[in-house]
């Protein structure tokens, strides 16, 4: 693997978490995933996991900010999501039928 790429990953990791105290987190992965990971021993899998978790946390914080003033309840959002899913599925079926000429 390109040494510069590995160094860039290290730099990203240091910039993202510089100054933070680190705690240990145990992560379980399926055996087949671990075998694939072992093929790439030059990858810092802790950094990969840390960055993935950070991205998800950033997204969750953004969603919290976006929905902070919403008057919808969780039940409302589930019902709305189901309506949207049904509408999208209906449109998809129509599109597929139109494409098939039926």
pLDDT digits (tens, 9 = 90+) for 43-102: 999 999 999 999 999 999 999 998 888 999 989 999 999 999 999 999 999 999 999 887
Name every residue whose Cβ is closer than 8 Å to that of residue 95 and which is 6 or more positions away in sequence.
Answer: none
Coil, helix or strand at residue 88: helix
pLDDT digits (tens, 9 = 90+) for 5-32: 444 444 445 455 566 788 888 889 999 9
Tell me the CA distances in angstroms from 55 to 19, 50, 62, one per residue in order: 18, 9, 11
Distance CA 46, CA 2 (A): 19
Domain ranges in the chain are: 1-70, 71-102
Distance CA 98, CA 3 (A): 51
Which residue in 88, 14, 83 sits closest to 46, CA to CA? Answer: 14
The upper half-sphere exposure of residue 67, i.e. CA atoms within 13 Å in the direction of its Cβ, equals: 11
pTM equals 0.57
């Amino acid at each position: 693997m390109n040494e510069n790429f590995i160094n860039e990953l290290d730099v990203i990791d240091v910039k993202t978490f510089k100054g933070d105290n680190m705690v240990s987190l145990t992560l379980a992965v399926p055996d087949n995933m671990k075998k694939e990971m072992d093929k790439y021993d030059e990858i810092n899998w802790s950094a990969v996991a840390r960055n993935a978790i950070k991205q998800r946390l950033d997204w969750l914080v953004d969603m919290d900010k976006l929905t902070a003033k919403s008057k919808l309840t969780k039940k409302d959002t589930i019902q709305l999501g189901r309506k949207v899913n049904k509408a999208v599925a209906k449109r998809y079926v129509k599109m597929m039928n139109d494409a098939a000429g039926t």
